[in-house]
Chains A and B, each alone.
Chain A
């Protein structure tokens, strides 16, 4: 997880420089906004010449899924009132995935804090390194950093498209955006696409829970579970599995990632959205012990 988060932060720092933000602004985003997708959205709009309002709106809309995560963490860990604010700040893809992957309440709590604090530290450290490196590089166009931005957004979108419905939403929104580009000020096309996406979702056409995966798989294939095994409870490698119990479509169409996963009996249905599945298919017998039911 450390490597994935570090590299993700590195690219954010470098691309923010290319978007024209100064070091303090970049660090403010990583320290205070602290949500990879939203931060990328913000600098993506700024880089495209969009207004601050458009950038903020895109970041806010992309952050809505964090509210969903917050609900899940709150139900799962039942924190005391005074702890809710720091926990809310650490509520990101990785910490939620780690917590929901455990079955023992104490392990869930430990997993949440360990992943949340760990990612926070690494994310900010590598944002700083990336921003400094980006400053040293100079002219973004010459170095192809605009190509890097394109690749970054596609990389964020890619893991969220596992079925036909999310793919259709993506295509429709991309087309709507491009049609709108010549007609409205920069930044606004993205917001129009957001409205279209929301309408598609509301009308029930959207995926039940597609799109709620982590920005970057913290446990990439091949790395998962091996270097970290036994060191922390998060070493096992989460896979976010959608399982709402009401739509079989998404389940059937995403078999690729579900190979080797097993059900977790006894986990309430609502946590299924972010239920972590085992990665037995990768690490086989090398699963660390720890009383989990998902391996």
Chain B
């Protein structure tokens, strides 16, 4: 399937997921286990995405300029910088690290 097909399928699933929430009985909300899974899924996926985008290069692991971006972003977040500032700093950090010769 083309990327387009996957995009449209992802959109359909997103709408269906939200709509499903409107259809199921409210009793489900009292189930802490379900909330746990939804929460831990979110955290696990975002952690995995962070790791892959930092260290994966195709099917290989690499330590390059992106690690600098990760560290700079972490410091910015620690200092409670707004989201776009964090993202921009990540870009600048990776760019500068590359200029200085880091992979």
Interface residues of A (CB under 8 A from B): 4, 7-8, 10-11, 15, 21, 25, 28-29, 32-35, 37-38, 40-42, 44-49, 52-53, 55-56, 58-75, 79, 84-85, 87-89, 91, 141-158, 160-161, 166, 169-178, 181-182, 185-186, 189-190, 193-194, 196-198, 200-202, 204, 206-212, 216, 220-221, 244, 246-247, 270, 273
Contacts and interface: CB of A to CB of B under 8 A. Distances in A.
Given A70-B22, A74-B22, A207 B59 contact: no
A147 B21 contact: no
Interface in B31-79: 32-56, 58-61, 65-66, 68-70, 72-74, 76-77
Contacts of B9: 56
Nearest to B72: A151
A117 to B, nearest CB: 15
Interface of B: 1-15, 17-24, 26, 28-30, 32-56, 58-61, 65-66, 68-70, 72-74, 76-77, 80, 82-84, 86-98
Contact of A148 (B7, B44, B88, B96): B88
A125 to B, nearest CB: 15
A89 to B, nearest CB: 6
B18 A89 contact: yes
Contacts, number: 369
Contacts of B65: 144, 147
A63 B13 CA distance: 9
A247 to B, nearest CB: 8
Q: Which 6 A-B pairs have the closest CB atoms?
A: A70-B21, A147-B94, A151-B90, A197-B44, A147-B69, A52-B6
Nearest to A67: B21
Given A155-B83, A207-B40, A68 B95 contact: no
A151 B11 contact: no
A41 B21 contact: no
Given A52-B3, A70-B18, A210-B39, A33 B10 contact: yes
A241 B43 CA distance: 17
A43 to B, nearest CB: 10
Given A38-B14, A151-B69, A174-B50, 17 more contacts: A11-B87, A28-B8, A44-B49, A47-B53, A55-B10, A59-B14, A64-B38, A67-B21, A153-B46, A154-B74, A166-B40, A186-B56, A190-B45, A193-B45, A193-B48, A207-B40, A208-B39
Given A28-B7, A71-B29, A157-B47, A178 B55 contact: yes
A181 B58 CA distance: 8
Contact of B44 (A68, A169, A185): A169
A74 B21 contact: yes
B49 A58 contact: yes
Contact of B15 (A88, A146, A194): A88
A110 B74 CA distance: 37
A57 to B, nearest CB: 9
Contacts of B88: 148
A234 B46 CA distance: 28
A186 B58 contact: yes
Given A11-B84, A202-B33, A182 B21 contact: no
